[in-house]
Structure 1
Amino acid sequence: MKTILTNKHISIETKKRALQCYIEPVLMYGCEAWTISKQIQNKLEATEMWFLSRMLRIPWTAKKTNERVLNEANKRRSLVRTIRKRQATFLGHVMRRGKREHLVTTGRFEGKRSRGRQREKIMDGLATWLGPGKVSDILAAVKDRDLWRDMIANAYKQGTWDDDDSLDK
Structure 2
Amino acid sequence: MKTILTNKHISIETSKRALQCYIEPVLMYGCEAWTISKQIQNKLEATEMWFLRRMLRIPWTAKKTNERVLNEANKRRSLVRTIRNRQATFLSHVMRKGKLEHLVTTGKFEGKRSRGRQREKIMDGLATWLGTGKVMDTLAAVKDRGLWRNRIANVYKQGT
TM-score bin, normalised by smaller chain: over 0.9
1:149 Cα offset (Å)? 1.6
Secondary structure of 1:115 counterpart: coil
Deviations for 1:11-48, whole angstroms, at most 9, x for unmatched residues? 11111111111100000000000001111111100000
Q: Distance in 1 between matches of 2:16 and 2:70?
A: 12
CA distance in 1, matches of 2:120, 2:70: 31
Deviates more, 1:4-13 or 1:149-158: 149-158
Moved over 4 A (4+): none
The alignment-based identity, stated in percent, is 91
Note if contact 1:88-1:126 (Cα within 8 Å) is conserved in structure 2.
yes
Please state how far the C-alpha of 1:62 moved relative to its aligned partner.
0.7
80-89 or 135-144, larger mean C-alpha shift: 135-144
Q: How many residues end up aligned between the 2 structures?
A: 160
Gap runs ≥5 in structure 2: none
TM-score of the superposition, structure 1-length normalised?
Answer: 0.91
In 2, distance between residues paired with 1:68 and 1:45? 15
Shift of 1:154: 2.0
Contact 1:85 / 1:156 at 8 angstroms: preserved in 2? no
Give me the TM-score of the superposition, normalised by structure 2.
0.96
Whether the 8 Å CA contact 1:82–1:156 is kept in 2: the answer is: no
Q: Is the 8 A contact 1:35 1:121 kept in 2?
A: yes
Please provide the CA RMSD for this pair. Answer: 1.0
In structure 1, the partner of 2:19 is: 19
